[in-house]
Amino acid sequence: MNKDQFLEELRKKLSGLPQEDIDERVAFYSEMIDDRMEECITEEEAVASLGTVDSVVEQIMSEIPLTKLVKQKVKPKGKMKAWEVVLLVLGAPVWIPLIIAALAIALSVYIVIWAVVISVYAVNLSVAAGAASGLAGIFIYLKAGNPAGMLFSFGAAIALAGLTILLFFVCKWITKAVIKLTGRIFLGTKTSFVGKEA
């Protein structure tokens, strides 16, 4: 892909943004390609070094504040006609509760996901407490002169300690996955406000 093709595709994929933002981003990437070509690499190599157009768009979207995108999308293009205002007002008892319900459901699902993550951490803490109790049981059985109980406590403590370590890595992985999902949801929300211009 050459520079002109890359910039044209970038301009198309950013078409929902304000025109000044599109021009600014396209100029930035045009200059970046020129700078790389000055380092004695071909135009195609300079374009390829930037990554795909989709990855560039994703990077741009992550940098633009959501409030700016919402303002741009919600800003009316012209004066509303009287019948449009009447329809908005008459439909408000239907569409406002639906929007509120959809947002409440989305927030509830997100909270439930974090509740599951916290529950897994709580289970891990309980297993660690069980391992500590097993270690304490060794001394109790030793003092009571019960070698079978001492051996059982030792085995339980070792097994629970291993399970604690394993669960720690599971907890860490789940937390990273939920944080990554949060970022994807946020980026998807931003992208949905940009959309495609007709």
pLDDT in tens, the chain (198 residues): 888 888 888 888 887 777 888 888 889 888 888 888 888 888 888 888 888 888 888 888 777 776 666 666 555 556 778 888 888 888 889 989 999 999 999 999 999 999 999 999 999 999 999 999 999 999 999 999 999 999 999 999 999 999 999 999 999 999 999 999 988 888 877 777 665 443
As a whole number of Å, the CA-based R_g of the chain is: 29
Angle at 57 between CA 53 and CA 60, to 5 degrees: 140
Whether residue 73 lies inside any domain: the answer is: no
Q: Which residue has the tokens 């009316």?
A: 76
CB 50, CB 39: distance < 8 Å: no
Q: Flag whether 75 is in a domain.
A: no
Q: Is 89 in the same domain as 158?
A: yes
Same domain, 97 and 41: no
> Which of 15, 14, 17 has its CA nearest to residue 73?
17
- Residue 10: give the domain boundaries: 3-64
178 and 101 within one domain: yes
For residues 52 and 93, membership in a common domain is answered with no
Does residue 184 share a domain with residue 140?
yes
Tokens of 146: 């019960």
Residues 113 and 186 in one domain: yes
Which pLDDT value is given to residue 12? 85
Domain end call among 64, 92, 115: 64
The residue to which tokens 């409440």 are assigned: 104
Instruction: Indicate whether 74 belongs to any domain.
Output: no
- 184 and 111, same structural domain? yes
Q: Are residues 115 and 19 part of one domain?
A: no
Q: Is 90 inside a domain boundary?
A: yes
